């Protein structure tokens, strides 16, 4: 699968459960067509997680037959919040719950471990960047978009004129922690949902796997006595809900309708801040059967309030290659840094010619 001496960058997508890796040649060809995953070990702490990332790096090179000497840089994405240069928030995060992660410089640690330049982006920004460039192609540098990536938490990204908006501290596009109106969103007597970050009523408290486990399932299971999910452990039950939703189960559709409504309210806020050309939804919630994901996206659109002028030009779409978007997006960021002569710092991109 190698590419006969052509230099490459490696993209590493770090998640709460798994690392996914990809390889991108400097002439814009991805050498990996599917997921290349191993456990991420993030719950075991930073040292174990860095070693797991190194294993993912070695593994994808072995799979593609690319010699290590051809690697010019590595792109790394992780869940946020984190700084533009890869320092995990001093408050920790949903995925990085151990105290040792607070304020940890994950980019520099991986750079030292691999001995290669490492470019950092949070996972939402990486997926947003990939979605933007694939969706708009040659027009990417003249278009804007926002993306919400639903996973263990809720990530996202703002892309303006083809470039990720990083912000002063690197925390722009942290859509999960935007507060949304809850009137009409919650059911009768449903408690205000709480987030692992300490907020109440932010988007992640509803639209995330953690939100399902902590806030949505307990409420809806009480209203559907005898539902099979009541017999499952909460974490496992949260992961099983999507399968029930695909089959049209009423409880599951109630859960995902709340998530879609929350995303619609988020996009309504985004419409008034950035007025983007496109709104993308990605992550586990749309790793589903076509009927379910089309229903979900349509429900998000239904709850997004746009002015007529905005509705005439805006598009709603799923993040393409959804499970690979993070690794591919951060590989694009790494390639752009190499081409700009600086493979460190926040991701900025002029758009690789992807093939």
Cβ atoms of residues 237 and 215 within 8 Å? no
| Buried-exposed string 303-326: b where 16+ CB fall within 10 A, e elsewhere | bbebeeeeeeebeebbbbbbbbbb
Task: Please tell me the predicted confidence (pLDDT) of residue 265.
Answer: 98
Higher pLDDT, 32 or 168: 32
pLDDT at 80: 74
What average pLDDT score do residues 246-264 get?
A: 98
User: Please, are residues 8 and 70 in contact by the beta-carbon 8 Å criterion?
Assistant: yes
Residue with more model confidence, 197 or 75: 75
CB 230 within 8 A of CB 278: no
pLDDT at 163: 85
Tell me the per-residue pLDDT of 123-156, one tens digit each, with 9 for 90 and over.
889 999 999 989 998 899 899 999 999 988 898 9
Question: Mapped to the 3 state alphabet, what secondary structure does the chain carry?
Answer: CCCCCCCEEEEEEECCCEEEEEEEECCCCECCCCCCEEECCHHHCHHHHHHHHHHHHHHHHHHHCCCHHHEEEEEEEECCCECCCCEECCCCCCCCCCHHHCCCEHHHHHHHHHCCCEEEEEHHHHHHHHHHHHHHHHHHHHCCEEEEEECCCEEEEEEECCEECCCCCCCCCCHHHCECCCCCCCCCCCCCCECCCCCECEHHHCCCHHHHHHHHHHHHHHHCCCCHHHHCCHHHHHHHHHHHHHCCCHHHHHHHHHHHHHHHHHHHHHHHHCCCCEEEEEEHHHCCCHHHHHHHHHHHHHCCCCCHHHHCCCEEEECCCHHHHHHHHHHHHHHHHHHHCCCCCCCCCCCCCCC
279 pLDDT exceeds 90?
yes
Pairing assessment for the beta strands 8-14 and 71-78 based on DSSP bridges: parallel
Banded pLDDT at 342 (limits 50, 70, 90): low
Mean pLDDT to the nearest integer, 79-105: 85
Average pLDDT over residues 13-40: 94
pLDDT, mean of residues 96-115: 94
Task: Name the token pair of 214.
Answer: 């902590």
| Res 158 pLDDT > 50 | yes
Of the listed ranges 34-38, 240-244, 320-324, the least confidently predicted one is: 320-324
Mean confidence (pLDDT) of the chain: 91
Q: What's this model's pTM, rounded to 2 decimal places?
A: 0.85
pLDDT at 2: 55
Confidence band for 346, pLDDT divided at 50, 70 and 90: very low
Q: How confident is the model at residue 354 (pLDDT cuts 50, 70, 90)?
A: low
Task: State what percent of residues in the chain have pLDDT above 70.
Answer: 95
């Amino acid at each position: 699968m190698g590419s006969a001496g052509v230099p490459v960058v490696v993209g590493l997508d770090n998640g709460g459960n798994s690392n996914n890796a990809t390889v991108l040649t400097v002439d814009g060809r991805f050498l990996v067509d599917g997921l290349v995953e191993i456990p991420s070990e993030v719950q075991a702490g930073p040292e174990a997680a860095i070693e797991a990332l190194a294993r993912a790096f070695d593994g994808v090179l072995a799979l593609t037959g690319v010699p290590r000497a051809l690697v010019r840089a590595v792109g790394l994405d992780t869940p946020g919040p984190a700084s533009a240069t890869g320092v995990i928030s001093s408050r920790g995060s949903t995925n990085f719950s151990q105290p040792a992660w607070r304020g940890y410089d994950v980019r520099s640690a991986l750079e030292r471990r691999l001995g290669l330049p490492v470019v950092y982006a949070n996972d939402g920004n990486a997926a947003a960047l990939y979605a933007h460039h694939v969706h708009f192609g040659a027009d990417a540098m003249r278009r804007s978009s926002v993306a919400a990536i639903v996973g263990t938490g809720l990530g996202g990204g703002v892309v303006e004129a083809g470039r990720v908006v990083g912000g002063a501290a690197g925390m722009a596009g942290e859509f999960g922690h935007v507060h949304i109106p809850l009137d009409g969103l919650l059911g009768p007597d449903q408690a205000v949902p709480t987030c692992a970050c300490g907020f109440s009523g932010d988007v992640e408290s509803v639209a995330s796997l953690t939100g399902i486990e902590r806030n949505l399932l307990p409420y809806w299971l009480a209203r559907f006595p005898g539902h099979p999910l009541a017999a499952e452990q909460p974490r496992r039950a949260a992961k099983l809900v999507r399968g029930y939703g695909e089959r049209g189960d009423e409880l599951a559709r109630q859960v995902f309708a709340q998530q879609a409504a929350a995303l619609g309210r988020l996009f309504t806020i985004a419409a008034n801040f950035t007025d983007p050309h496109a709104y993308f939804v990605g992550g586990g919630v749309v790793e589903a059967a076509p009927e379910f994901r089309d229903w979900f996206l349509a429900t998000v659109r239904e709850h997004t309030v746009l002015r007529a002028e905005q509705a005439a030009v805006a598009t709603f779409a799923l993040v393409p290659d959804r499970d690979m978007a993070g690794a591919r997006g951060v590989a694009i960021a790494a390639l752009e840094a190499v081409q700009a002569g600086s493979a460190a710092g926040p991701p900025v991109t002029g758009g690789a010619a992807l093939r």
